[in-house]
Amino acid sequence: MIEKKQKNHRKKMVFSLHAPQAEKVILTGDFNQWNLKKKGMKKGSSGAWEATLLLSPGTYEYKFIVDGKWQMDPANSQVCKNCFGTHNNLLAVTE
């Protein structure tokens, strides 16, 4: 994940997931009300899927959906338990 400061205190956050065999990857979290149709990711030539979001400072929970299956971010060890008894990744965006 790469972050860059924006003038309005939001930061550009780049989410990436290496899944070269995947047909479709979706990024979802509390930053988009867990909407499964809002943030499809784009596949790069290296097999990594990427999505860029502008996020205000705060803590966000998120997950990927890879070909219809929920998946944690293997590059982020920050997690929390969710209401379904599984885990979500955590992302803290600072000012």
| CATH code, 2-93 | 2.60.40.10
* Whole-angstrom distance, CA of residue 18 vs CA of residue 31: 22
Structure tokens at 54: 């502008």
CB 14 within 8 A of CB 1: yes
Residue extents of the structural domains in the chain: 2-93
β-pairing, 58-66 vs 48-55, is unpaired
CB 52 within 8 A of CB 13: yes
Whether pLDDT at 1 is above 60: no
pLDDT digits (tens, 9 = 90+) for 6-43: 456 889 999 999 999 999 999 999 999 999 887 789 99
pLDDT of 38 = 77
